[in-house]
Amino acid sequence: MSATSVTVPGIVRSDGTLELEGKVALPPGKVQVTVEALSLTPADHPFWQLLQGIWAARQQAGLQPRRVEEIEAERRRFREEIDEEIAETGLLQKDGNASPVVAGR
C-alpha cells in the first residue's frame, strides 16, 4: 500500500510562489496542496517567553504602542527638521561661511 499523503517543508516567496525543499514522494498525478504557516519561534523558546513577559508588563503598566498615525507624524516632523537644517547649511555654504551653525546648539 502506498502513501496517500506526505509532508514536505517549503517556503512561500514574496511573489506568492511556493518552493518545496525536497521531492514529493507520491506517484505522478493530481494532488491537493494545503499550505500551513509555521511559527518562526517555538512558544517555549526562552527569547519568545522573554518578549511575552515584556509585553505583559507593559500592558499591566498601562503602556500602549503608538498608533501608525503618531509614528508617521513624528517621521514627517523629523524630515521637515532635517530639510530645514540642510537648507540652512546650503545658505551658509553659499555665503562662504565655512562653519555651519547647527540648530539648537
Tens of pLDDT, residues 51-65: 999 999 999 999 988
Contact 10, 21 (CB under 8 A): yes
SS (H, E, C) 22-87: CCCCCCCCCCCCCCCCCCCCCCCCHHHHHHHHHHHHHHHCCCCCCCHHHHHHHHHHHHHHHHHHHH
29: how many CB neighbours lie within 10 A of its CB? 5
Query: Can you give the pLDDT at residue 76?
Result: 97
Task: Give the residue-averaged pLDDT of 24-30.
Answer: 90
What b/e string do you get for 78-94 counting C-beta neighbours within 10 Å, with b at 16 or more? eeeeeeeeeeeeeeeee
Tens of pLDDT, residues 80-105: 999 999 999 988 888 775 555 566 55
Query: Can you give the pLDDT at residue 100?
Result: 55
Query: Can you give the pLDDT at residue 43?
Result: 80
Structural domain boundaries in the chain: 10-94
